[in-house]
Chains A and B, each alone.
Chain A
Amino acid sequence: MTLFKKLLTLLLLFLPLAAISMDDPWDVLEDSAKASHALNYEGVFHSQSSAETNSTHVIHANIDNKEYCSLKMLDGAPNEVFCAGDLVYVINQDGLLIKKRKNQFLFPSVLPSDINHLKKNYQLSFGEKKRVADRMAQLIVLRAKDNLRFNYHIWIDEKNFLPLKLVVTDNKNKMIEQSTFTTIAFNKEFNKEFKKDIFEKNINLAKLYATKNKFVENYVSNKFWNLKDLPAGFKEVDLISRRVNGLNLLDYQLIFSDGLAYVSLFIRPITRGTEPKEGTVSIGSNNISAKYQDGYQIMSVGMVPPETVNTFSGSIEF
């Protein structure tokens, strides 16, 4: 067999595999999830919801398998955020707040690491290709399989799979929120000098920083509630408790997710002089549902349809 024939045979063997990879939007989504953590890039993205619009300058670097980011608000107050792995440093004129990142999947890293979890709740399809931030991008639509969540439209860079644009729409195709790069550059070399430039200039960890976060997070040992009839596809991913201002009482925040959508369910004791509230309202891209039960104000908040937050608020049993 000549060398040419050998190469042709190899090509024929691997071509179908490559075609499957390109034909399956789930594979593209998985590559996209990885790319958003692995790539080095610098750009500006624009975010818009019904309540507000603003622009952010972003630098993202992966150095020795650790993620670093620098974000600066370009509108309003010049606040900045620096990330190093799971730690997030928020800087404004008042000082520095250091937080540990748990469920914050910040744009463009909006996809969960376990893409399979999305398959239960979303139907995936390719959409049209278009230019975003001067780059060709392939649209992938994650359409909700039920009315409990919104639809996600993600434009993915055709060459390196980074999400360049995200649009969230409701069931009537009305836009709820969007984030999109207006400029972006790849192939930037980031090394240890970058860490020095970005972090040591802005954050002096040798100095004692007092965070003014009034909330005290506690480990919850006694769950005095039961959850019944939760909206399908949502799992509890976190539980936070906080001390109620000035009182020896705790309130609780349970966090649920279906992989893309997040809902917080608050269980708060009603303090003297506070009237319990019931009903549903919208604030920005979030729907909020309130119910009263056994001396507790139950509130659910999330970028999901009103029916979903209502179901969450009604799911608590004491």
Chain B
Amino acid sequence: MNEKISSLFDSEINNIEVDTLLAKKNKMAGVRSSMSEYQMISDVLKKNTVLPKNNLTDKIMSAIDEEPTQMGGFIKANSSNTAVVSFEIWPVLGSLAVLVVIASTAFNIEVNSVSTSQFLAKEDIPKEIINAHHAATANNMNYFIQVGDSAK
């Protein structure tokens, strides 16, 4: 599922799968959350939007604040546990941090697997489908009688 969401933001998915994915997004919180995060990664990598202010951004910012980041000669020490980073490196660090956070949490996000069997429930099957099948193919007269009954 994550692979499909990733493909969506890379424009590598066909129209049919987009419809399916959007339908799933509306139904499943896990898929919605994953899509939001992948959208953010996509935006950061393409540098076309500013990171939205939400819990994830806050987590990233506080993680960066708390960790002494070591990035070769780009860093200037500011205090014992923080680092001042030159302005040009922010987008890169931001992207990397987002990826690290996403990677660490992705395995804990409850999303639908590649198999989509959980989406179809018994009550989703229209009764006329079963009746039409038995009416056309029954090898059991009891079914046939009931089909005749229900077709009325």
What residues make up the interface of A, taking CB atoms closer than 8 Å to B? 47, 52, 54, 56, 58, 71, 73, 77, 79-81, 88, 90, 92, 94-95, 97, 99, 102-107, 110, 177, 179, 211-215, 238, 240, 242, 253, 255, 257, 262, 264, 266, 275-281, 283, 286, 288, 290, 292-294, 299, 301-302
Please, which residues of chain A bring their CB within 8 A of the CB of B117?
A: 278-281
Q: Does any Cβ of A come within 8 Å of B88's Cβ?
A: no
Closest CB in chain B relative to A165 CB, distance in Å: 13
Q: Does any Cβ of A come within 8 Å of B141's Cβ?
A: yes
Contact with A along B45-68 (1 / 0, CB 8 A): 000000000000000000000000
Closest CB in chain B relative to A39 CB, distance in Å: 16
Please, which residues of chain A bring their CB within 8 A of the CB of B27?
A: 275
Q: Given A81-B145, A281-B125, answer yes or no on A105-B116 (Cβ-Cβ < 8 Å).
A: no
Q: A92 to B148, Cβ gap below 8 A?
A: yes
Q: Given A104-B138, A278-B119, answer yes or no on A292-B16 (Cβ-Cβ < 8 Å).
A: yes
Closest partner residue, chain B, to A242 (CB atom): B132
Q: Given A276-B19, A280-B120, answer yes or no on A103-B148 (Cβ-Cβ < 8 Å).
A: no
The complex places the Cα of A238 from the Cα of B137 at a distance, in Å, of: 10
The complex places the Cα of A88 from the Cα of B139 at a distance, in Å, of: 14
What residues make up the interface of B, taking CB atoms closer than 8 Å to A? 16, 19-20, 23, 27, 115-122, 124-125, 129-130, 132-133, 135-142, 144-146, 148-149, 151-152
Q: B151 to A213, Cβ gap below 8 A?
A: yes
Closest partner residue, chain A, to B122 (CB atom): A281
Q: A102 to B124, Cβ gap below 8 A?
A: no
Please, which residues of chain A bring their CB within 8 A of the CB of B120?
A: 277-281, 288, 290
Please, which residues of chain A bring their CB within 8 A of the CB of B124?
A: 277, 281, 290
Please, which residues of chain B bring their CB within 8 A of the CB of A257?
A: 137
Please, which residues of chain A bring their CB within 8 A of the CB of B121?
A: 281
Closest CB in chain A relative to B32 CB, distance in Å: 15
Main secondary structure of the interface of A (DSSP, over half): strand
Q: A56 to B142, Cβ gap below 8 A?
A: yes
Please, which residues of chain B bring their CB within 8 A of the CB of A215?
A: 132, 151
Q: A179 to B140, Cβ gap below 8 A?
A: yes
Q: A212 to B20, Cβ gap below 8 A?
A: no
Cross-interface CB contact of B133 among A77, A99, A264, cutoff 8 Å: A264
Q: B139 to A240, Cβ gap below 8 A?
A: no
Closest CB in chain A relative to B151 CB, distance in Å: 5
Q: Given A215-B132, A290-B124, A292-B20, answer yes or no on A177-B140 (Cβ-Cβ < 8 Å).
A: yes
Cross-interface CB contact of A97 among B122, B125, B129, B152, cutoff 8 Å: B152
Q: B20 to A102, Cβ gap below 8 A?
A: no
Q: A283 to B122, Cβ gap below 8 A?
A: yes
Please, which residues of chain B bring their CB within 8 A of the CB of A294?
A: 16
The complex places the Cα of A71 from the Cα of B116 at a distance, in Å, of: 42
Enumerate the 10 nearest inter-chain pairs by beta-carbon distance, A residue then B residue, closest first. Answer: A90-B148, A279-B120, A262-B137, A279-B117, A278-B116, A264-B133, A301-B133, A212-B152, A79-B145, A277-B120
Q: A255 to B136, Cβ gap below 8 A?
A: yes
Closest CB in chain A relative to B122 CB, distance in Å: 5
Q: B23 to A79, Cβ gap below 8 A?
A: no
Closest CB in chain B relative to A280 CB, distance in Å: 5
Q: A77 to B149, Cβ gap below 8 A?
A: yes
The complex places the Cα of A317 from the Cα of B140 at a distance, in Å, of: 32
Q: A47-B141, A97-B152 are in contact. List 6 more A-B contacts (CB 8 A).
A: A54-B142, A79-B145, A90-B148, A104-B139, A107-B141, A301-B133
Q: Given A79-B148, A97-B152, answer yes or no on A71-B132 (Cβ-Cβ < 8 Å).
A: no
Please, which residues of chain A bring their CB within 8 A of the CB of B135?
A: 99
